[in-house]
Amino acid sequence: MMRQKLKQKRPFHVMIIPTLGCPSKCAYCWSSEVDSPVMSIETVKDTVAWLKDFRSDPVTFTFHGGEPLLAGADFYRQALPLLTGELTHLEPNFALQTNLWKLTPELADVLAQYQIPIGSSLDGPQELNDLQRSEGYYEKTMRGYELAKEHGLQVQFICTFTSHSVQFKEDIFNFFLENGLTLKLHPALPSLRSNEPDKWALSPEKYGELLVYLLDKYLENMNLIEVRNINDYCRCVFTGRGTVCTFVDCMENTFAVGPDGSIYPCYRFVGMPEYVMGHVRDRPSQKELAESGPGVRMRAFKEYVDIECKGCKHIRYCRGGCPYNAIAPTNGEIKGVDPHCIAYQRIFDEIAERFNQEMMGSLGLGMIDPGSQKGNNSRPGIMSLMQKMIAK
């Protein structure tokens, strides 16, 4: 009985957005806001009070922004004990997404005390990175990176590929490879706060091509680098289950708390009044959030995917992609699935086909030798990657 109960646990994710302010001015940014307030400790206390009886599953708190370190060392020194000490039944885990500019030895000490893994952002070599993100960005982030390492903090970088930087994909891949960094990528999204929302956005077609390119580069250099997204796509195909938020029904298991305590379905919606589901001070239940306007809209997306993607062989582990990508650009109207569907289909098909071919080859049913693709017999195949993932 006990074992059955444990199995039924559904981990959930609460993103805490201490502020939407950010000292950088990245050209394609869609999430920062000048003059955004900073979350008060009262709001953290309200968040704790809200979550006490909200549900009893394991929770991950991710501090996100804007730039979450703008909240300062005192904020984390007070917030972290509140979130851990009073919510032990939720077994809290933490993560933080930051550009590292504002990291100080004092802040690093607090974060190290809670062993908080850090996600940061670099778009490749300095010149390219600074062109997209802002002059001096690279140096400031690297300074923070060195400080984080000195304090024993783990940092992984996310690389945003834009319509511009995708032309330099080889340089970017080599940059991550030569610097011994794990590569995790994001396609630049249309910036809804910009006058030219599509200027930097990576088209779904180009994103699909990029993913196949990175699959090949990863296979060629499998022992030297990890490409996280390719691992995620492979895991989807191999296990038949999505393992990152884009490829599961994120609704009802993901929430974000904005600087003023408003609750949203995800950090991506923070600052959009039409997506406020409730407020932490009112301690809304799961049912109340699900019945709020944005809660209903998120569920409607899930039902839409059930119909719209019904004929797609990847539906089980794709689930229509990211609802934000699908509904934010159409003012909340559900007119389609995640526009990156084209890219998802491309990479899922590629992985599934190569896997099937290699399986047939290894069983002696086909002409293809495991590990051979496009005539390059020295390159490991998709099954080698699967073995690497299982071994890990």
CB of 186 to ligand SF4, least distance (A): 10
Q: What are phi and psi of 212, to 5 degrees?
A: -65, -40
Rank residues 48 and 315 by Cβ distance to ligand SF4 and give the closer one. Answer: 315
Rank residues 259 and 320 by Cβ distance to ligand SF4 and give the closer one. Answer: 320
Q: Could you give the count of Cα atoms lying within 13 Å of 323 in the half-sphere of its Cβ?
A: 28
CB of 88 to ligand SF4, least distance (A): 25
Q: Reduced to 3 states, what is the DSSP secondary structure of residue 208?
A: helix
Of 132, 75, 67, nearest to 101 by C-alpha is 67
Of 153, 140, 148, 141, nearest to 114 by C-alpha is 153
Rank residues 131 and 315 by Cβ distance to ligand SF4 and give the closer one. Answer: 315
CB of 249 to ligand SF4, least distance (A): 9
> Given the rule CB under 6 A, which residues bind ligand SF4?
245-246, 250, 254, 266, 268, 309, 312, 314-315, 318, 320-324, 337-338, 341, 344-345
CA-based Rg of the chain, rounded to a whole angstrom? 21
DSSP letter for 133, please.
H
Rank residues 32 and 153 by Cβ distance to ligand SF4 and give the closer one. Answer: 32
CB of 176 to ligand SF4, least distance (A): 22
Rank residues 173 and 264 by Cβ distance to ligand SF4 and give the closer one. Answer: 264
Q: Which residues touch 311 (CB under 8 Å, ≥6 apart)?
A: none
Q: What are phi and psi of 154, to 5 degrees?
A: -95, 130
Rank residues 319 and 354 by Cβ distance to ligand SF4 and give the closer one. Answer: 319
CB of 333 to ligand SF4, least distance (A): 16
CB of 272 to ligand SF4, least distance (A): 12
Work out the end-to-end distance of the chain between its first and last CA atoms, rounded to an integer number of angstroms: 31
CA atoms of 270 and 383, how far apart (whole Å): 40
